[in-house]
């Protein structure tokens, strides 16, 4: 019995010592963990994007290699584009053809409008000339009739007076004919009437002149009395004047012909305008086809989607690739960040856009950043509490820090250590 009691005491002493050692070790480890959590670390990260063609085809050119720095929009590779180039040329030819049709239709419209104006002016001129010719012919009939009557009535005092009247009438007819001739010559110079119409007026003018001379002769011979041949001549002139009157009246029908020319010109204008609309629709369709062909042609050139470095190349010149196949993997350098996992105590008080100070562990250089996001919920527990220590779980919150400017020595993947929020 006396040997058992010392053994029990020894075991109890060892247990007490071991428990004290473990407790002190746990406290020291907790202090160490808290110290580490106050200065957490994270890696420099950036986006990794793939560069792929929008259409499939055979690669004809590769313009970069792994490790090259590229800028957004820089050509990286090209596909064979012979068929697409032919389609673009065909679409351009269709556009040119449609534009030619538009120009042709516009020219036809202008021509029809000019013909309409000319025909409208011709209607007015023809109508005026026809009325003047009728008036002239009616005056000639009256003069010829008066002459015949005078010859039949003999040379009496009244006949002398009648001869004078006939002379005055012939003079009037000649004046009208001369005015009409001058007007028609002016219209001819303006291109509003044909030469044939002027020739008709010249004939009437010559007739009026002859009649005036005849009337003058009759006035001189009235005292001698008419002769038989004079009577027959006067009657012939009367018939001629009546025929001229009928011809002048028939000339009024030319007005209707001119009006028909106006209607025909209006129809030609409408037809030409319809051709313009049709050609314009064809041009729009051809331009749309050209734009589509040029768009597909642009897809044969692969460009960098962002600034960065070529990490890997998955296809070589001559290979056939499909649409969306990632030919290159690019590490983007336009946006870099680090994501720290911090305890709830460390996160307390942090706000978006707070400036923070970091340290690049590889070189010891100081780096500045900005808080861009704070996780709304914790991700995991850094340390689990025990049931006997009375502690709580140490929760971890993700804090994303944007790094607008890194030292030249910094490389993606290097470690940054949290120092703290910059004052101000």
The structure tokens listed for 215 are: 């009337």
Angle between helices 228-250 and 82-153 (to 10 degrees): 150
Question: CA 163, 165, 167 angle in degrees (round to 5)?
Answer: 70
The structure tokens listed for 26 are: 């746990």
Q: What percentage of the chain carries pLDDT values higher than 90?
A: 23
Pick the range with the lowest mean pLDDT from 82-86, 288-292, 368-372, 392-396: 392-396
pLDDT the model gives residue 31: 39
pLDDT tens-digit series, residues 197-233: 888 888 888 988 898 888 888 887 765 666 677 778 8
pLDDT tens-digit series, residues 303-358: 999 888 998 999 999 999 999 999 999 988 878 899 999 888 888 889 999 999 99
The structure tokens listed for 337 are: 């960040």
pLDDT the model gives residue 235: 79
pLDDT the model gives residue 71: 93
Cβ neighbours of residue 305 under 8 Å, at least 6 residues apart? 49, 51, 72, 330
* H-helix or E-strand spanning residue 321: strand 320-321
C-alpha 350 chain-centroid distance: 52
Q: Is 341 helix (H, G, I), strand (E, B) or coil?
A: strand
Gap between the Cα atoms of 279 and 98, Å rounded: 6
Q: Is 181 helix (H, G, I), strand (E, B) or coil?
A: helix
Gap between the Cα atoms of 189 and 234, Å rounded: 37
Gap between the Cα atoms of 222 and 418, Å rounded: 141
pLDDT the model gives residue 341: 92
The structure tokens listed for 12 are: 């109890």
Q: Which residues pair with 42 in a beta bridge?
A: 416
Using left for φ > 0, alpha for ψ between -120 and 50, and beta otherwise, residue 220 falls in alpha
Q: What value does the mean pLDDT take over residues 378-400?
A: 66
Using only C-alpha atoms, what is the Rg of the chain?
A: 57
pLDDT tens-digit series, residues 17-47: 555 544 444 443 443 344 444 689 999 998 8
Q: In the chain, count H helices and then E strands.
A: 7, 13
- For residue 193, is pLDDT > 60? yes
pLDDT the model gives residue 17: 58
Q: What value does the mean pLDDT take over residues 260-273?
A: 86
The structure tokens listed for 72 are: 């957004």
Gap between the Cα atoms of 175 and 168, Å rounded: 10
Using left for φ > 0, alpha for ψ between -120 and 50, and beta otherwise, residue 420 falls in left
Nearest to 248 by CA among 327, 192, 186, 177: 177
Q: What value does the mean pLDDT take over residues 181-209?
A: 86
pLDDT tens-digit series, residues 92-115: 898 898 889 889 888 888 888 888
pLDDT the model gives residue 30: 42
The structure's pTM equals 0.46
DSSP assignment of 34-69, as one string? Answer: HHHHHS-EEEEEEEEEEEE-SS-EEEEEE---TT-E
Gap between the Cα atoms of 126 and 311, Å rounded: 89
Gap between the Cα atoms of 239 and 146, Å rounded: 13
Pick the range with the lowest mean pLDDT from 142-151, 262-271, 290-299: 142-151
- For residue 387, is pLDDT > 80? no
Split at pLDDT 50, 70, 90, the class of 380 is low
Strand order in the sheet with 320-321: 301-303, 75-79, 57-62, 320-321
Gap between the Cα atoms of 241 and 64, Å rounded: 102
Average pLDDT score over the chain:
82
More confident residue, 324 or 380: 324
Nearest to 367 by CA among 308, 315, 328, 408: 408
Q: Is 231 helix (H, G, I), strand (E, B) or coil?
A: helix
Gap between the Cα atoms of 295 and 306, Å rounded: 21
More confident residue, 387 or 114: 114
Q: Are 268 and 115 in contact (CB under 8 A)?
A: yes
- For residue 252, is pLDDT > 80? no
pLDDT the model gives residue 24: 47
The structure tokens listed for 100 are: 């030619």
pLDDT tens-digit series, residues 38-91: 689 999 998 889 999 999 999 999 999 998 999 999 999 999 988 878 888 888
pLDDT the model gives residue 393: 62
pLDDT the model gives residue 29: 40
339 CB burial (10 A radius; 0-12, 13-18, 19+): middle
41-79+307-382+393-421 CATH choice from 2.40.30.170, 3.40.50.510, 3.40.50.300, 2.60.120.650: 2.40.30.170
DSSP assignment of 189-222, as one string? Answer: HTTSS-HHHHHHHHHHHHHHHHHHHHHHHHHHHG
More confident residue, 321 or 128: 321
pLDDT the model gives residue 98: 85
Split at pLDDT 50, 70, 90, the class of 382 is low
Split at pLDDT 50, 70, 90, the class of 14 is low
Q: Hey, where are the domains in the chain?
A: 41-79+307-382+393-421, 112-266
353 CB burial (10 A radius; 0-12, 13-18, 19+): exposed
- For residue 359, is pLDDT > 90? yes
Question: CA 187, 190, 196 angle in degrees (round to 5)?
Answer: 50
pLDDT the model gives residue 84: 79
């Amino acid at each position: 019995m006396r040997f058992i009691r010392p053994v029990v005491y020894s075991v109890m002493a060892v247990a007490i010592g071991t428990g004290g050692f473990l407790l002190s070790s746990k406290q020291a480890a907790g202090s160490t963990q808290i110290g580490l959590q106050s200065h957490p670390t994270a890696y420099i990260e950036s986006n990794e994007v793939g560069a792929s063609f929008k259409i499939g085809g055979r690669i004809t050119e590769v313009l970069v290699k792994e490790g090259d720095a590229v800028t957004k929009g820089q050509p990286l590779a090209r596909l064979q584009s012979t068929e697409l180039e032919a389609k673009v040329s065909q679409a351009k030819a269709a556009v040119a053809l449609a534009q030619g049709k538009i120009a042709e239709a516009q020219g036809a419209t202008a021509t029809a409008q000019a013909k309409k104006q000319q025909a409208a002016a011709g209607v007015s001129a023809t109508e005026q000339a026809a009325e003047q010719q009728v008036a002239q012919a009616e005056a000639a009939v009256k003069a010829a009739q008066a002459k015949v009557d005078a010859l039949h009535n003999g040379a009496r005092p009244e006949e002398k007076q009648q001869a004078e009247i006939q002379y005055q009438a012939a003079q009037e007819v000649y004046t009208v004919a001369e005015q009409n001739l001058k007007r028609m010559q002016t219209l001819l110079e303006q291109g509003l009437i044909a030469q044939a119409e002027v020739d008709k007026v010249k004939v009437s003018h010559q007739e009026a002149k002859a009649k005036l001379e005849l009337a003058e002769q009759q006035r001189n011979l009235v005292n001698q009395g008419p002769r038989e041949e004079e009577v027959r001549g006067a009657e012939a002139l009367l018939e001629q004047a009546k025929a001229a009157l009928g011809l002048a009246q028939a000339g009024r029908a030319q007005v209707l012909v001119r009006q028909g020319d106006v209607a025909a010109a209006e129809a030609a204008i409408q037809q030409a305008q319809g051709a313009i609309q049709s050609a314009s629709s064809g041009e729009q369709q051809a331009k749309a086809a050209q734009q589509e062909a040029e768009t597909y042609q642009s897809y044969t050139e692969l460009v960098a989607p962002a600034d960065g470095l070529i990490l890997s190349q998955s296809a070589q010149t001559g290979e056939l690739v499909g649409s969306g196949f990632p030919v290159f993997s690019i590490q983007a350098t336009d946006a870099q960040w680090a994501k720290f996992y911090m305890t709830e105590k460390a996160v307390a008080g942090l706000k978006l856009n707070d400036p923070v100070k970091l340290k690049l562990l590889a070189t010891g250089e100081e780096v500045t950043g900005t808080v861009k996001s704070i996780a709304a919920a914790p991700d995991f527990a850094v340390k689990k509490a025990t049931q006997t220590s009375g502690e709580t779980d140490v929760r971890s919150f993700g804090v994303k820090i944007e790094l607008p400017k890194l030292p030249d020595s910094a490389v993606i993947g290097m470690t940054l250590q949290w120092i703290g929020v910059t004052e101000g």
